Amino acid sequence: MKASAYPHMLTSFHDGWDELHTAKPREQNIFFKLVLPLSLLPVLMVLYAGNFHGAYYSSTAMGRWETLAAVFFVAEMITVPGMAWIIRQLAKAHMAHSDYDGSYLLAAVAAVPMWLSSLTLFVPFLPFNIACAVTGLVLACALVYHGIPVMLGKDRDDDVRDMTYLVMWIGVGAWAILSSLIALLFVAG
């Protein structure tokens, strides 16, 4: 898939998605080419923010920022396969065809806007950071909304719509848990 197709995937059920669906990349390739590199981005940005703008965000020592980055990385490594498993289980329940690799691909592609939103930590302004994180979450939901029908090979019907909204709610819940984890690490320090 070309990177130029990615923005179209936010609004289209076919642009980019059809190519991804036919390519059928394996989980291992998705992990090493997409998930791992982009999961490191928030980790590095948290370390950058702690080192250069730590006093703006919190009076927490740098060691606390390192702990936060490590915990966040582990949480990311759990969340992507966890969301893939949830997508696969829901697809089975809704009589849709889905292999784990396709579910993993959808979970990974949907996480990209959230990973990229970490770049806002270059700007030490909390309202801007929060607004961009929420925008990343909304874009991730758009990717799930447009990606599920193609990745499952089903037309948009009531079952697919219900499954899509359920995946989005679970994803938002996972995001809320990760955000709470970050807040707790700062409050506990």
Distance (Å, rounded) from C-alpha 178 to C-alpha 76?
A: 9
Alpha carbons 102 and 178: distance in angstroms, whole number: 24
Average pLDDT of the segment spanning 49-71: 82
Q: How far is it, in rounded angstroms, from Cα 122 to Cα 42?
A: 11
**pTM given for the model:** 0.90
Given this model, what pLDDT does residue 1 score?
61
| Residue 177: how many other CB atoms lie within 10 Å | 12
Question: What's the pLDDT score for residue 137?
Answer: 94
- Mean pLDDT for 104-109 is 94
Alpha carbons 23 and 147: distance in angstroms, whole number: 14
